[in-house]
Amino acid sequence: MRSTLYESEVFGMACRQFDRAADLLNMPADLRERTLYPRRCLSVLMPVRLDDGRVEIFEGHRVQHHLTMGPCKGGVRYHPGVHIGEVAALAMWMTWKCSLLGLPYGGAKGGVKVDPSKLSPGELERLSRRYMYEMTPFVGPQVDVMAPDVGTNAQTMAWMMDTYSNEKGHTEPAIVTGKPPEVGGSLGRKEATGRGVAHLSRRRLETLKIPANRATAIVQGFGNVGSYAALDLHASGVKVVGIGDATVSFHNPAGLDIPSAFEHQTRHGSLAGWRGGDTLPNAELLVQPCTVLAPCAMERVITHENAPKLRCRIIAEGANGPTTNRADEVLAARGDIDLIPDVLCNSGGVVVSYFEWLQNLANDYWTRERVDTKLFEMLDAADRRMGERSRELGVPSRLAALTLGIGRVAEAKRLRGLFP
């Protein structure tokens, strides 16, 4: 039976992606449902005291998609648009991503319906501690390990780790990843997702025989993922001609000064007020000409309406779920754009989160060089597997990646059988 618990546009989109892959895998109906649906979720209403003395109630969720391959793993999002259906879709994508990369995790995701820019640091700390307090019976280093996502960062993770550790009576760094290195975070984690996006984009440029210094890029979203992706592409000689965040977008065909934009964003928290290029409406950023288009913000920004107008050679999906099902069809029909799907393209973050978890469990900390070498090895290996599968089945890269990710989970479920 198809459950309506998570009904929403984005969950429907993740289900349609799943169905296409499951069809290709000839997955039997009973295994299909078990593999598709999240195992469990916890929703909470959290009272938090604001600085002016009032108490506000915030809605929070955590969805654990699978416990079949090991603990669940996934970020926590603070955003006004958070909805349990979106959280469930993001948890599902995390499962396929971890499986594709060969990580011993199932997927999870958390979210709080809040605009973090409207809260003071003290309010954010109280909200984050409350969220982790509510989740404490539901998570654990061998059950479910959180990480940053949209609207959260290393500081959020430090508060959450501290809260969990106080509840347990001992320091437990492995309960979250993406922490500051001073409290057990891994070197290279903060940059990992964006650097992975840049690395895989360069790999595609090599395949297409386009030298980096003849390529251009546009990056939508200038938070953790987008800013490091832009910085890394810029450092390797790619001319970044467009960037944007929720507040403003900039374009300059001669190239933007990305280190300056990065410094502005670090100091002010957004690109608003930066003076480095001509501004243009956010919706127009994606359709400007470029070699690499990297959506690194939110879901469902490449649609059947703008997909025919894209003027790029490569799409590097830094965000989760940036391309709708109908846009995928348009891109497949066009056939002139190479797509690096989200489950591979932004997996650098969870790969280094995995390294962080290993380091925490072993109390043995790695050099930056060891992190980077192993990260790029794992991304390249998954990229190769995806390319081989795509050629073997004659299907687009997203479908190839999903059949690998979904197929491994379904096979593990079949082998483990049903309990009790």
* Residues with active-site annotation: 109
319 binds ligand NAD (CB under 6 A): yes
Q: Which is nearer to ligand NAD, 136 or 270 (CB)?
A: 270
Of 266 and 363, the one with the shorter C-beta distance to ligand NAD is: 266
Establish if 341 lies at the interface with ligand NAD (CB under 6 A): no
The answer to the question of residue 222 lying near ligand NAD (CB under 6 A) is: yes
The whole-angstrom separation of Cα 18 and Cα 92 is 9
Residue (107 or 151) nearer to ligand NAD, CB: 151
Q: Judged by CB, which is closer to ligand NAD: 34, or 66?
A: 66
CB of 297 to ligand NAD, least distance (A): 3
Residue 408 backbone dihedrals phi, psi, to 5 degrees? -65, -40
Phi then psi dihedrals of residue 264, to 5 deg:
-60, -45
Nearest residue to 338 via CA among 215, 220, 205: 205
For 297, phi and psi rounded to 5 degrees? -120, -85
Q: Kindly tell me which residue out of 193, 216, 360, 403 binds ligand NAD, with binding defined by CB under 6 A.
A: 193
Answer yes or no whether residue 293 interacts with ligand NAD by CB under 6 A.
no
Residue 91 as a binder of ligand NAD (CB under 6 A): the answer is no
Are the beta carbons of 320 and 297 closer than 8 angstroms?
A: no
Binding mask 134-153 for ligand NAD (x = CB under 6 A): --------------xxxx--
Q: How far is the CB of 161 from ligand NAD (least distance, A)?
A: 16
**Amino acid at residue number 23:** D
What DSSP designation does 159 have?
H
Least distance from C-beta 222 to ligand NAD, angstroms?
4
* Alpha-helix runs per DSSP H in 208-243: 224-235
Residue 409 in contact with ligand NAD, rule: CB under 6 A: no
Q: Does 320 bind ligand NAD (CB under 6 A)?
A: yes
Q: How much is the CA Rg of the chain, to the nearest whole Å?
A: 20
> Which residue's Cβ has the minimum distance to ligand NAD?
223
Site for ligand NAD in 229-288 (CB under 6 A): 244-246, 270, 282
Secondary structure (DSSP) of 284-332: HHTTS--SEEEE-S-SS-B-TTTGGG---SEEE--SSS-B-HHHHHHHH
Q: Which SS3 state, helix, strand or coil, does residue 241 take?
A: strand
Residues of 180-199 as b/e, b for ≥16 C-beta within 10 angstroms? eeeebbbbbbbbbbbbbbbb
Minimum Å gap between C-beta 205 and ligand NAD is 21
For ligand NAD, the closer CB: 319 or 395 = 319
Single out the residue of 60, 184, 185, 221 in contact with ligand NAD (rule: CB under 6 A). 221
Which of 224, 324, 390, 397 forms a contact with ligand NAD (CB under 6 A)? 224
State the Cα–Cα distance between residues 307 and 17, nearest whole angstrom.
18
Among 284, 264, 194, 289, which residue's Cα sits nearest to residue 234?
194
Tell me how many residues contact ligand NAD (CB under 6 A): 25
Least separation, in Å, of the C-beta of 167 and ligand NAD? 25
Q: Give the residues lining the site for ligand NAD (CB under 6 A).
A: 148-151, 193, 220-226, 244-246, 270, 282, 296-298, 318-320, 346, 349
